[in-house]
Amino acid sequence: MQSTKKHLSADQRRSVTVKAVIDLAAEHNPSKITTAAIAKHMNVTQGALFRHFPCKEAIWQAVMAWVTDHLLARVDKAAANAPTPLAALEAMFVAHIEFVSRHPGVPRMLFGELQHATESAPKQMVRTLLKKYALRLAEWIEKGKAAGEIDPTVNSAAACQLFIGAIQGLVMQSLIAGESGTMRDKATTIFAIYRRGIEAKP
């Protein structure tokens, strides 16, 4: 259980709530996390929680907004500091894995939302995140083609799907095996295989 200060601003309280949900999701089935559990983890009452969020779905929306902002900012920064398009793609791959390693509750929540049969605002937000991510990847892949680094015949949409799929596969297998801490070590090796499939041949 985390301790929270009594006098926090509304924004600070919402941020603390988001962190509490992500922490809980790392150890529990996200679909089973109740507002009572969140409040208990934060050492506050449910009434205090609902002063900042009208319902549980609003909390989930705040979590997905946080994930979208922080993950995209992290991969954008990593790519911007890379010297070439292929290096940018690798930096994004590694940065994504590092983000998940630090916040293992995030992929559990994302996978959980996408598995729901019914539509919801959080599920739509996950889809939007994936679309924004794919657009970034496609841009770097096209830059790689223009620079002569990436095979011009490569289907950009398929290359984006494979990139995201490789990350999802690594994350899922690591979580199942209880080895989330080793994801970073495997990321470079896996990206090297991906790179060989898209890079321009001499």
Per-residue pLDDT of 105-140, as tens digits, reads 998 888 887 777 778 888 888 899 999 999 999 999
Same domain, 192 and 120: yes
CATH of the domain at 24: 1.10.10
For the cut 70, the answer to whether the pLDDT of residue 62 exceeds it is: yes
Same domain, 20 and 97: no
Same domain, 69 and 6: no
Cα separation, 110 vs 127, whole angstroms: 9
CATH of the domain at 128: 1.10.357.10
Cα separation, 163 vs 194, whole angstroms: 7
- 178: left (phi > 0), else alpha (psi -120 to 50), else beta? left
For the cut 60, the answer to whether the pLDDT of residue 1 exceeds it is: no
Same domain, 36 and 111: no
Which residue range is the domain that position 6 belongs to? 1-53
Same domain, 78 and 166: yes
Same domain, 146 and 93: yes
Whole-model pTM? 0.88
Same domain, 124 and 103: yes
Cα separation, 178 vs 22, whole angstroms: 17
Give me the number of domains the chain comprises: 2
For the cut 90, the answer to whether the pLDDT of residue 84 exceeds it is: yes
